[in-house]
C-alpha cells in the first residue's frame, strides 16, 4: 500500500486528537468467502477539525465508521484500534458503546427518514436521547430540545416537537437529525453522506449548519462523502479511500491543488464543474430541424387531502403550462429540485402518462391524437433512460434479452441470429464486453447496468432519447464515462436529447440549452453558458450558488445567494407567485408569471427585484 503523506499545518501543530483509528481491518464472512472491506485504515480527527473521507461506493468508507462504533452487520468483524478521547472502544461491550453513542459521538445518516423512528413524535425521540444519557426530566429536556431546534434554524420549533418525521421535509428532517446528534454536545460528529439525498439548495444550508457547529462548539466532524464539492466546502483535511485502502491524505488545499495520486486526480477531473470553461457546442438552433414541439402542457394529479371519512380529492398541478421545443441533434437540459415535475414532464412527452391539457407534437404530428398502433410506431423514435439502473431492468431477464426487447417489438422479422448480432454490436458500442451477454442485472455494477439501459434505448436507432436522471445514481467516475458515452452516441447518430437532472453542473456540461423548472413552471430558459454564467431569475441564481465547486479556494470565498423562506407546498395555488410576492400582496392575481425574452433565445419568468427576495 502506497499513500502520499503531506506535511500539513494541522499536523505540524498538533491539537488533541478526539478520535483515532489505527490499522483498522474489517472483514465480512459471506457465502462467497471472506471479503476484506477495510484494509489497514488509520486516521485521526482533532478537536474542532473536519476530516473528509472521500471515496466511491464500495471503498469501505462507511464500514470504517460503522466498525469503529460497533455497528457492523452480524457477519462482520473488525480488528485494530479505535480510540475516542484516548479510550479504546473497538469491540467494546454493548453497554459501554451505548454510553458513548449519542453522548460523546453523534451520528448523522444519509437518509433522515429511515434514521428517525416513524411512530414517535420528534419531541419524544429527542427527549429519549437526553433521558438515556443525562437522566433529564421531561421539562428540562423539552427546553433543551427547543433550544437546539432553534439553533439548527427550524422555524416554529415548538410545533415541530409534536410532529411525526413524515410530516417534515427532507431538509427539515436532516436538521432534526443534526439537532438530535448535537443534543449532548458530543465531541465528535460522524456524518455519513449527510446531504446526498437532499436538493442542492438544502444541501448548502445543511453544510453551512455543520460548519457552524464545528466552529461554534468546537465539535470534531468526520464527514464521509463521495462528493468532492462538499469536501471543498467543509473539510480541513481529506483522506481518499479506494477499495478499503487509503490512497492519499493531506490538507484540503494540497489535495485539490496538487494531488500526488492518480486516483485522486481522476476523481477531481471527473467532477463536472459549473465554473469550468464550458466546452460549448457549436450547435445552431436555427439551422437544424425542429423535432419536438411541446405547447403549454399541464398535468394534474388527484391527491387525497386529509378530511376524515370522506376525504376530498384535491388536484395537484405537477406541471403547469410548460412549453419548449427541441431540434435535431440538440440537447435540452431540464433542471429542477425534487418534486418540481421534471420527471412527470418527461413521461408526458413520451405519452407514458396522460396530460390534462396542452400539445406534444413529434415531427409535426400531435402524439395525443394518435391511436395505439400509430403511437407504438412513433415510440420507436423516442426512448428513455432511467435513473436507477437496477430498477429499470427486469431482474429475471438476461441483459441480452432486455436489450433485445425493443427489437422483438419493432422488428419481428429478424431471426434470432440477427437479433443476437444486433445486440452484440450494440453492447460493444456502449462499452459492454461480449461475454457479459448472458448475465443478469444483479451480477453487474451500476455503471454496467446503466450501459445496458442505454443500449436498450439505442437499439432501434431512435431520434430522441430522454435521460431521466440517467447519471445521478452513479459514482463520479462512472458518471463521467456515461456522460461521454451519451455525447458520443449523440454525435454518431445525430440524436436529440432531453437531459433531466437535479444536478446543474451535470446538466451544464451536457446541454446546449437549459430549462430551469420550479414547482411545475419554467422560470428560465436559455443557452447553457448564459444560464450558468449570467442567470436572470433569482431561483436559478440561488441554485447555481448552492452547487459546491470542487475547489476550496473558489468555494470558500463565494457569496451564497439564499432565498427567504422554505419551499411552499405544491398544492398551494399561491406557490406560483413565490418570486412575485408584490403581485400576491397587491391582490391582482391573474395570470401566473409569464416568460419574458431578455436576450437572444433567453427567457426569464417575471419576478420581483432579486434583492427583495433574498434572505
Partner 1 sequence: MLGRSSKAAKVAEELSHYGGVRGRSLARDALQRFLSNKAAIFCVFFLAAIVLFVLFGPALAKWNNEEIDWAVLGDIAAQGMPSVQSGHYFGTDELGRDLYSRTIQATGTSLMVGLIGTAMALVVGTTWGVTAGYLGGRVDSIMMRIVDILYSVPITLVVILILVVAGRSFTTLFIALGSVSWLTMSRIVRAQTLALKNREFIEAARAGGVSELMIVVRHIIPNLLGVLIVYASLLVPDLIFAESFISFLGLGISEPYTSLGALISEGAGTMGYGTLWQLLVPLFFYVSITFTMFFIGDGLRDALDPKDR
Interface ranges with partner 1 (CB under 8 A): 347, 350, 352, 376, 379-380, 382-384, 386-388, 391-398, 402, 405-406, 409-410, 416-417, 420-421, 424, 434-440, 442-443, 453, 456
| Cα 478-455-319 angle, rounded to 5 deg | 80
In the 8-state DSSP scheme, what is residue 1? -
**Residue 378: CB minimum distance to partner 1, A:** 9
How far, in whole angstroms, is CA 217 from its chain's centroid? 29
**Residue 168: CB minimum distance to partner 1, A:** 25
**Residue 303: CB minimum distance to partner 1, A:** 16
CB-nearer residue toward partner 1: 75 or 137: 75
CB-nearer residue toward partner 1: 91 or 445: 445
CA distance 133 to 150: 21
**Residue 500: CB minimum distance to partner 1, A:** 14
Q: Is 71 exposed, middle or buried (0-12, 13-18, 19+ CB in 10 A)?
A: middle
CB-nearer residue toward partner 1: 383 or 505: 383
CB-nearer residue toward partner 1: 304 or 416: 416
CB-nearer residue toward partner 1: 366 or 409: 409
* Residue 580 vs residues 167, 323, 525: alpha-carbon distances, Å: 27, 21, 18
Among residues 297, 300, 341, 337, which one has the least CA distance to residue 317?
300
Among residues 46, 89, 82, which one has the least CA distance to residue 64?
82
Looking from the CA of 584 toward its CB, the CA atoms found within 13 Å total 15
Strand pairing class (105-108; 17-30): unpaired
Residue 75, SS3?
coil
**Residue 379: CB minimum distance to partner 1, A:** 5
Lateral strand order in the sheet of 76-84: 33-46, 17-30, 76-84, 87-88
CB-nearer residue toward partner 1: 227 or 469: 469
Among residues 251, 188, 180, 252, which one has the least CA distance to residue 217?
188
CA distance 519 to 320: 8
Joined grid coordinates for residue 374: 400509430
**Residue 356: CB minimum distance to partner 1, A:** 17
CA distance 578 to 585: 11
Tell me if 230 sits within 8 A of 53, measured CB to CB.
no
CB-nearer residue toward partner 1: 284 or 376: 376
Tell me if 386 sits within 8 A of 392, measured CB to CB.
yes
**Residue 393: CB minimum distance to partner 1, A:** 6
Joined grid coordinates for residue 86: 484516548
Tell me if 78 sits within 8 A of 90, measured CB to CB.
yes
**Residue 40: CB minimum distance to partner 1, A:** 31
CB-nearer residue toward partner 1: 251 or 387: 387
**Residue 429: CB minimum distance to partner 1, A:** 17
**Residue 456: CB minimum distance to partner 1, A:** 7
**Residue 87: CB minimum distance to partner 1, A:** 37
**Residue 253: CB minimum distance to partner 1, A:** 42
Joined grid coordinates for residue 168: 417534515
**Residue 402: CB minimum distance to partner 1, A:** 8
* Strands (DSSP E) found in 90-244: 105-108, 188-192, 220-225, 237-242
Per-position b or e across 21-59, b if 16+ CB within 10 A of its CB:
beebbbbbeeeeeeeebbbebebbbbebbbbbbbbbeeb
CB-nearer residue toward partner 1: 182 or 294: 294
CB neighbours of residue 606 within 10 Å:
16
Lateral strand order in the sheet of 331-335: 382-385, 464-468, 496-501, 331-335, 513-518, 521-527, 602-605, 595-599
CB neighbours of residue 566 within 10 Å:
12
CB-nearer residue toward partner 1: 391 or 564: 391
CA distance 451 to 429: 10
Ramachandran angles phi, psi of 567, nearest 5°: -65, 130
CB-nearer residue toward partner 1: 274 or 382: 382
Could you tell me if residue 102 is left (phi over 0), alpha (psi between -120 and 50 degrees) or otherwise beta? left
**Residue 349: CB minimum distance to partner 1, A:** 11
**Residue 431: CB minimum distance to partner 1, A:** 17
CB-nearer residue toward partner 1: 34 or 391: 391
Q: Is 247 exposed, middle or buried (0-12, 13-18, 19+ CB in 10 A)?
A: buried
Amino acid at each position: 500500500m502506497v499513500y502520499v503523506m503531506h506535511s500539513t499545518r494541522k499536523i505540524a501543530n498538533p491539537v488533541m486528537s478526539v478520535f483515532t483509528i489505527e490499522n483498522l481491518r474489517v472483514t465480512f464472512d459471506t457465502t462467497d468467502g471472506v471479503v476484506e472491506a477495510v484494509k489497514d485504515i488509520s486516521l485521526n480527527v482533532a478537536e474542532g477539525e473536519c476530516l473528509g473521507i472521500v471515496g466511491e461506493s464500495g471503498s469501505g468508507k462507511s464500514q470504517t465508521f460503522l466498525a469503529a462504533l460497533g455497528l457492523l452487520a452480524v457477519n462482520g468483524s473488525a480488528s485494530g484500534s479505535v480510540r475516542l478521547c484516548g479510550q479504546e472502544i473497538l469491540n467494546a461491550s454493548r453497554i459501554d458503546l451505548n454510553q458513548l453513542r449519542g453522548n460523546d459521538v453523534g451520528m448523522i445518516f444519509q437518509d433522515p427518514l429511515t434514521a428517525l423512528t416513524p411512530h414517535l413524535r420528534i419531541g419524544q425521540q429527542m427527549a429519549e436521547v437526553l433521558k438515556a444519557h443525562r437522566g433529564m426530566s421531561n421539562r428540562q429536556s423539552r427546553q433543551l430540545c427547543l433550544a437546539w431546534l432553534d439553533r439548527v434554524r427550524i422555524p416554529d420549533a415548538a410545533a415541530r416537537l409534536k410532529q411525526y418525521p413524515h410530516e417534515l421535509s427532507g431538509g427539515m428532517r436532516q436538521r432534526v437529525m443534526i439537532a438530535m446528534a448535537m443534543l449532548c454536545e458530543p465531541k465528535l460528529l460522524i456524518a455519513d453522506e449527510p446531504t446526498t439525498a437532499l436538493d442542492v439548495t438544502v444541501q448548502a444550508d445543511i453544510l453551512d449548519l455543520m460548519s457552524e457547529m464545528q466552529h461554534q462548539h468546537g465539535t470534531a466532524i468526520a464527514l464521509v462523502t463521495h462528493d468532492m464539492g462538499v469536501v471543498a466546502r467543509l473539510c480541513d483535511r481529506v483522506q481518499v479511500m479506494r477499495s478499503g485502502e487509503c490512497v492519499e491524505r493531506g490538507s484540503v488545499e494540497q489535495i485539490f491543488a496538487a494531488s500526488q495520486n492518480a486516483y485522486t486526480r481522476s476523481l477531481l477531473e471527473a467532477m463536472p464543474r459549473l465554473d469550468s470553461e464550458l466546452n460549448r457546442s457549436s450547435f445552431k438552433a436555427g439551422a437544424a430541424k425542429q423535432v419536438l414541439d411541446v405547447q403549454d402542457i399541464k398535468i394534474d394529479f388527484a391527491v387525497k387531502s386529509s378530511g376524515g371519512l370522506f376525504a376530498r380529492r384535491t388536484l395537484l398541478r405537477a406541471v403547469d403550462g410548460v412549453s419548449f421545443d427541441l431540434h435535431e441533434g440538440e440537447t435540452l437540459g431540464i433542471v429542477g429540485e425534487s418534486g418540481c415535475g421534471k420527471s412527470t414532464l418527461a413521461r408526458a412527452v413520451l405519452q407514458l402518462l396522460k396530460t390534462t391539457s396542452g400539445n406534444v407534437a413529434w415531427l409535426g404530428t400531435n402524439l395525443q391524437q394518435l391511436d395505439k398502433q400509430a403511437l407504438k410506431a412513433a415510440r420507436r423514435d423516442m426512448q428513455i433512460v432511467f435513473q436507477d439502473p437496477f430498477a429499470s431492468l427486469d431482474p429475471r431477464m438476461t441483459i441480452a434479452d432486455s436489450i433485445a426487447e425493443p427489437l422483438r417489438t419493432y422488428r419481428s422479422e429478424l431471426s434470432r441470429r440477427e437479433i443476437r448480432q444486433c445486440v452484440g454490436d450494440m453492447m460493444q458500442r456502449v462499452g459492454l464486453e461480449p461475454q457479459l451477454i448472458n448475465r443478469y442485472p444483479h451480477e453487474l455494477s451500476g455503471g454496467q447496468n446503466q450501459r445496458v439501459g442505454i443500449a436498450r434505448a439505442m437499439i432501434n436507432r431512435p431520434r430522441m432519447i430522454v435521460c431521466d436522471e440517467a447519471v445521478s445514481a452513479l459514482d463520479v467516475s462512472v458518471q463521467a464515462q456515461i456522460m461521454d458515452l451519451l455525447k458520443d452516441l449523440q454525435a454518431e447518430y445525430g440524436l436529440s436529447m432531453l437531459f433531466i437532472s437535479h444536478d446543474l453542473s451535470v446538466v451544464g456540461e451536457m446541454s446546449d440549452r437549459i430549462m430551469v423548472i420550479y414547482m411545475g413552471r419554467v422560470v428560465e430558459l436559455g443557452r447553457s453558458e448564459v444560464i450558468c454564467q449570467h442567470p436572470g431569475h433569482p431561483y436559478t441564481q440561488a441554485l447555481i450558488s448552492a452547487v459546491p465547486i470542487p475547489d476550496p479556494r473558489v468555494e470558500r470565498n463565494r457569496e451564497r445567494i439564499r432565498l427567504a423562506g422554505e419551499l411552499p407546498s405544491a398544492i398551494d395555488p399561491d406557490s406560483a407567485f413565490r418570486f412575485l410576492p408584490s403581485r400576491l400582496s397587491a391582490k391582482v392575481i391573474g395570470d401566473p408569471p409569464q416568460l419574458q425574452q431578455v436576450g437572444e433565445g433567453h427567457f426569464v419568468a417575471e419576478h420581483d427585484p432579486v434583492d427583495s427576495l433574498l434572505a
